[in-house]
Each structure stands twice: as structure tokens, then as C-alpha cells.
Structure 1
Amino acid sequence: MTGNTIVYDGDCGMCTTAAAFIERRMRVDARITAWQRTDLAALGTTPERAAYELLWVDRRGRTYGGAQAVAKILLAAGPPWSLLGLVMRVPPFRWPAHWVYRLVAANRHRLPGGTPACSLPADRRGPVG
């Protein structure tokens, strides 16, 4: 493992927009890649997990998913983002962060930027364009 990696769903317009925002505005020291274009086994994860949630894989190979991945990204982005990331990592705030993340993830196909592919299981999607 040479660096941090952010793994997102390349089939989802909302996820792709969020990844582009992280790359342009937050300048996080991480490789940002769609799970469909990544050797997930080399990162120590599976397509099922990557399709289920955003992932942050750190330099040591530890994987964080969902709201905790978002918190790691915010922490890595530095001020002012890191304050929100810090709050998201500690109880009791991490519990509602998880709940909100799961709510958004489960309904991303209904949200602005979401695509119909977001609602399909990973094994029923076509290749990323």
C-alpha cells in the first residue's frame, strides 16, 4: 500500500460528483477511484462492500466505510473540514452520522445527481463508461 485511496461508485452520478468535489475543492492526499475500475482485492476489500458504501483505505491497508470514510476524508482535508470529520468520529455524533449516511446511500437514486443504476445491485450493472 503506497497511499490513501478513496473508492466510490462510478455508476452513481451523485457519487461521481462528490468524488470530483473532493478532488477539486478538498485536495485530500489520496487516490480517488471508482470501484468498478479498481483492483479491490489489492485494497483488501470486495465488490459487495464497495457497492454498498464509500471506502477510505489508508496507507496501512485499514478500510473505513460509509460515514467513517467520510469522516476520514474530512480529517485528511484539513481545516475547516477536519473539525466536522473529528465530530463525526466520536460518539454520540458518529451514530447519527451513520444513520444519515445510510439514509442517503439507500435513496441516492432518488436524489439530485442520482442515476437509475444506483438502485441496481452491483452484479446487474453494466461497465462504467
Structure 2
Amino acid sequence: MRRLSYLWREHRVLSLAFVMALALTTVFLFRIIVGMVYWADPMHQDRPLEMWMTPRYISMSFDLPREEVLDALGIKEGELKRSTTLRRISEHTGVDIKDLEAAVEDAATKFRASHP
């Protein structure tokens, strides 16, 4: 305990910086673990498309590169906001959700065939 009081008295700024770095590391580690557990669950893999999904979620669910998903959805990088949902993409492109789902599944099949 004396060492901690010494560090606090003599190196307060450094001690605070260390505690902040430790807190940030803990937060990022927690986020990584939660993400790994979520995406390891087979229930979240190759899910049928729903209107709330984003291209990033689809990319993670189908294990596809983002560019493949964007091509399948018929949008270009930077054309829409990053958090744009399938509902907005469908409205923007004029393509029905079922057609978007078929395009994503087709892209997933082709990608998996070319990248075993």
C-alpha cells in the first residue's frame, strides 16, 4: 500500500494516465469478447436479411468483405452513411428486400466458391 501512496504522491499524472489506459484496455477487451461470443453463435451466421440490418452486419453475418456486400446491394462506397439500414438502401436503389437478399446470398455463394 505504501508503494501506491508513493506513486500517487510523486507521480500523480503518470498514475492517472496508467489508470485511464487500463480502463480503456478493459473496455476494448470487453467489446472484443462480446463480439467474439456474438458472432461465434451459429444463430447469427447467414441470417435471413431484415430491414434493420446494415451492410456491416450483413458482412459479419455472411463472413463477406464489405466491398462484396456493397456490390451485391448495388451501392458504392461512401454513397450512403455507414449505418444505413436495408430499408433505406431498398428505398434508395428501388430494389425489393427479397431481391437484395437473393443478391447477397448469390454473392456469398460465389465468394465462398472462389475463397475456400
Higher relative contact order (CA 8 A, sep 6+): 1
TM-score by length of 2: 0.26
The structure whose residues are more often strand, as a share, is 1
TM-score by length of 1: 0.24
Q: Over alpha carbons, which structure has the higher Rg?
A: 2
